[in-house]
Chain A
Amino acid sequence: MDLELSDEQRMLVEQVRRFVRQEVDPLEADLDPDASELPGEEHDRLVAITTGMGLYQMDVPEEFGGAGLDVMTRTLLAMEMSQHRAGLYTPCYGTFGSMGLAQLYDANDDQKDRYLYPTLRGEKRGFFGLTEPSGGSDPARAIQTRAVQDGDDWVINGQKIFISGADRADFGLVFARTSPDKGRAGVTCFIVDTDMPGFHVRRIVHTLRSTHYATELQFEDLRVPSENILGQVDGGFGIANERLTRNRIPYAASCLGVAMRAQEMAIEYVKIRETFGDLLATRQTIQNMIIDNELDIRTARWLTLAAAHKADQGEPFRTEAAMAKIAATEAGGRVVDRAMQIHGGYGVTKEFPFERWFREMRIRRIGEGPNEVQRLIIARDLIGGAFH
């Protein structure tokens, strides 16, 4: 694997880094420390800049008008885009656009007209409804939401939890059990309109993140037409699984971006902060923290880029993506923790970004498939499936 950046990659990375430092950082000085939205006029101004850079809607496939970046380049940019206070969950406050729900790129033409294109135009928002109160790590078995066919419609009853953005969405992808005895082969993906009778956002689930809360949903005799089935009846698990695997690489990369920024800030700080008559930089204990940070970052970075490389080669990358997810989320947590420790009291204040990164980074070990499940995936690939 060649990790030398191409001239184009180097230019894009520098462009995005400059954008974060010159455009995003200054705005955060005036925003609430937990903010995840820019004022409308600032958002529009930054979108004009990213559009000028040719990077707006960078995650959208080229045939739908996107930038057409390969996974490696996209991963390198994700490491830059998250290097600010809100960067872990809202890199650059969404000013590089949104890919929408990736599953819709495989929808039929009618579904694309009704859901995909309006989403890409910014007219509609969607949510991804997989996890249920009965569990999220093993969706194939945990899904208890039922969909029963009634004429040309399907009637859905059940619950979802930890669903992001459902309260503000116009539609969502809801996974429901259509064949009770078929395990993972008995789940179907439905496109559900949120203004339909029987669709309820029951509550906000408050978490360590002050914004970007999750929601709990309830479906009461929610009637969905057959033409809103995405893919095939009983074919939903593959749709969900594909998305989860693919997302793990940029998910890892954004953790790394935050870790890299935390390390940069820690290094700057130890060169100016004195204790007992000398700079922190001269203290071996502090030096060891900086060294451990760098080891964590470089190790996780290598694994993340290796996963991206494999994805670009068109090879199976499930194990590599799982390794990247584990390494980056755990390393990211350790790096932010050490950087916070180096900053002492300031490190835990809302004047610095560490406390937000600390809270949000903790969630990353659970989100997009808990790290324990990632280890299970790796074990299956290394040892084989017979042991479980």
Chain B
Amino acid sequence: MPWKASRPGWNGGNLISAAYSGAGDMAIRMEKAWRPLTAEALAGLPAQLGVYQIADDSREVIYIGYAGGRSLWGLRGALQDELAERGGGHHFRLEVNQQYLSRWEELLKVHMGDHGTLPPGNEKHRPRRIGQLSLS
């Protein structure tokens, strides 16, 4: 049976078959729409924990980050820091997630699988080992 690059979700009690049927799939890739990285867009964001991606003007991911348990204002604060550091001309998307560290590593693996390299901004901000993930 072909494998789908997704996580099984709850489909009435059969997680195992869901992994193959695709029922209740949750995306492994972050597929939300990009939003401009501006002070206005960030002002209404939640202060929760989670992960985010930063893209350049051509929507190429240049950094994958997370707002962890020590962040003062969660995702909002982390992205405000990104804006202050990077300036205009960038885009972001985010995911509220309590498992922010394992989700962060998963997104890094997916990027590595798709592109063969980490996003340029993650060359220094990365786990010691990235590891492999078969996406096809």
Q: Complex: how many Å from CA A218 to CA B136?
A: 12
Q: Binary interface profile of A, 18-37, with partner B (CB < 8 Å = 1, else 0)?
A: 00000000000000111111
Q: Which residues of A contact B105 (CB under 8 A)?
A: 204, 211, 213
A168 touches B101 (CB 8 A): no
A204 touches B102 (CB 8 A): yes
A210 touches B133 (CB 8 A): no
Q: Which residues of A contact B6 (CB under 8 A)?
A: 203
Return the contact of B102 from the options A194, A206, A350 (Cβ within 8 A). Answer: A206
Q: Binary interface profile of A, 180-223, with partner B (CB < 8 Å = 1, else 0)?
A: 00000000000000100000111110110111110010100000
| Chain A residue with the shortest CB-CB distance to B68 | A32
B131 touches A34 (CB 8 A): no
Q: Binary interface profile of B, 86-117, with partner A (CB < 8 Å = 1, else 0)?
A: 00000000000011111101100100000000
Q: How far is the CB of B123 from chain A (nearest CB, A)?
A: 14
* Most chain A beta-carbon contacts within 10 A, residue among B70, B101, B129: B101
A37 touches B127 (CB 8 A): yes
Return the contact of B133 from the options A34, A36, A40, A201 (Cβ within 8 A). Answer: A201
Q: Which residues of B contact A168 (CB under 8 A)?
A: 129-131
A33 touches B109 (CB 8 A): no
A167 touches B99 (CB 8 A): no
Q: Which residues of B contact A202 (CB under 8 A)?
A: 3, 133-134
Q: Complex: how many Å from CA A313 to CA B16?
A: 44
B103 touches A206 (CB 8 A): yes
A211-B101, A213-B102 given; A167·B131 CB < 8 A: yes
| Chain A residue with the shortest CB-CB distance to B8 | A203
Q: How far is the CB of A157 from chain B (nearest CB, A)?
A: 12
Q: Which residues of A contact B130 (CB under 8 A)?
A: 168
A32-B70, A33-B69, A34-B69 given; A206·B99 CB < 8 A: yes
Q: Which residues of B contact A316 (CB under 8 A)?
A: none
Q: Which residues of A contact B131 (CB under 8 A)?
A: 167-168, 201
Residues of A that sit less than 8 Å from B by CB: 32-37, 40, 125, 133-134, 167-168, 194, 200-204, 206-207, 209-213, 216, 218, 350
Residues of B that sit less than 8 Å from A by CB: 3, 5-7, 16, 19, 28, 68-70, 98-103, 105-106, 109, 127-134
18 contacts between A and B (CB under 8 A): A32-B70, A32-B101, A33-B70, A35-B101, A37-B128, A167-B133, A201-B132, A201-B134, A202-B133, A202-B134, A204-B106, A206-B99, A206-B103, A206-B106, A207-B99, A210-B98, A213-B105, A218-B3
Which A-B residue pairs are the 9 nearest by beta carbons? A167-B131, A350-B69, A33-B69, A200-B134, A168-B131, A213-B102, A32-B68, A210-B101, A168-B129
